[in-house]
Amino acid sequence: MSDSPLFKHRVSQATIDALAPRFASALPGFDEALFATRAAAGLEELALKARIQQIAAAAQASWSGPVAQLIDALPTVATAEPGLAGFAVWPLLQVIEDFGLPARQASLAAMRALTGRWSAEFAIRPISTRRYHAGLHRVEVQVNGRVLSGADFRLAMPDA
């Protein structure tokens, strides 16, 4: 991790160097060299979110298999010793946010596994905005078919 006070410097060449062999180990056929090249291209000039998005796009471009397999491997990438946490995990969740909608079940499972290492609050949005619409919703908690409690909430969708 950098000593810089800027958060963007917490996602650096060191992050790419940590992720590249983990992806290659978790996904036979993953193009580690392509990932390293694409992820690092112009990195120093990019803001934090752009760095995260670039690394996620590089991961997707470096895998020629189904996106579900890429997403299934993300928890393995994060937990390979020594395990990753914090800013180093954000690009993994960005893969889900940007490419995971067609692999909804794999995305949900990966988010569940990764959320203790970095928040999946942004990764869940593409999935949740497809399921719900703006307006009033009712949520009920059920145990063995009995409703224990319920609550109404109004979902306000961000302008796209």
Q: What is the pLDDT of residues 94-120, one digit of tens each?
A: 999 999 988 988 998 999 899 888 888
Residues 94, 107 contacting (CB under 8 angstroms)? no
- Alpha-carbon distance of 32 to 138, in angstroms, equals 46
Q: pLDDT tens digits, residue range 47-101?
A: 999 999 999 999 999 999 999 999 999 999 999 888 899 999 999 999 999 999 8
Mean pLDDT to the nearest integer, 16-42: 97
Q: Residue 73 and residue 60: Cα distance in Å, rounded?
A: 12
Domains in the chain: boundaries = 7-123, 133-160
pLDDT at 141: 58
Instruction: Check whether 160 has a pLDDT greater than 60.
Output: no
Distance CA 152, CA 139 (A): 6
Q: What percent of the chain has pLDDT over 90?
A: 56
